[in-house]
Amino acid sequence: MQRIPTNRYALFLLPAIVGCAADLATKAWMFSCPQLRAGEIYWLWAEHVGFQLSWNEGALFGMGQGKVWLFAALSVVAAVAIPIWLFRFGAARDAWLTFALGCVMAGVLGNLYDRLGLHGEVWPGLGERAGEPAYAVRDWILWQINDDWRWPNFNIADSLLVVGAAVLFVHALRQPGAPASEAADSASASRSPSDAPR
């Protein structure tokens, strides 16, 4: 098997570590803001882009609500499988694939941290679960066209998952087929000696 270039480890670890750290730091910062915790919205662009706290017990952008432990289990599987595939089975020879999966790993780890309740937050308010540990993802980025069309709140981890998926998609589209010269060489090599011109 061809040796994996040493720089592929950095290409994977850099977005994974920096991305995860940025996600956890921004979540801690936003959820420490008293005004946001009180339910207020801080607008960067009035009525379109701002900060608003919310809890997500589902997957990316609120899909699959209530299945937090299923998504936590899938995240653990992904966090183990990605580096094994890259560095044990050699997929890291592809630089773009390595970078994309570094972004995906950052998103997986950032949201897994929340799903396991490692942030130490409890459910707010006066509901049935008030004061209980919150095994849910902390979201804080708000984007909407207007009050009738609002995208589900998200965070840096979600954004990195989307970036990683987008890079994988574009990279897959740009993968060339076998060049004609390589195909000709393969065909020539497969010919038997009796087929050679005399």
User: Is-contact 165 106, C-beta < 8 A?
Assistant: no
Gap between the Cα atoms of 28 and 141, Å rounded: 13
Q: Active site includes 139?
A: yes
Q: What is the rounded CA–CA span in Å between residue 63 and residue 152?
A: 9
Residue 159 CA to its chain's centroid (Å): 7
- Catalytic entry in 23, 147, 148, 158: 158
Secondary structure class of 185 (helix, strand, coil): helix
Question: Active site residue: 23, 94, 114, 139, which one?
Answer: 139
Among the listed residues 81, 84, 92, 83, the one whose alpha carbon sits nearest the alpha carbon of residue 2: 92
| Secondary structure E strands in the chain | 42-45, 49-56, 137-146, 149-154
185 is catalytic: no
| Residues labelled as active-site residues | 139, 158
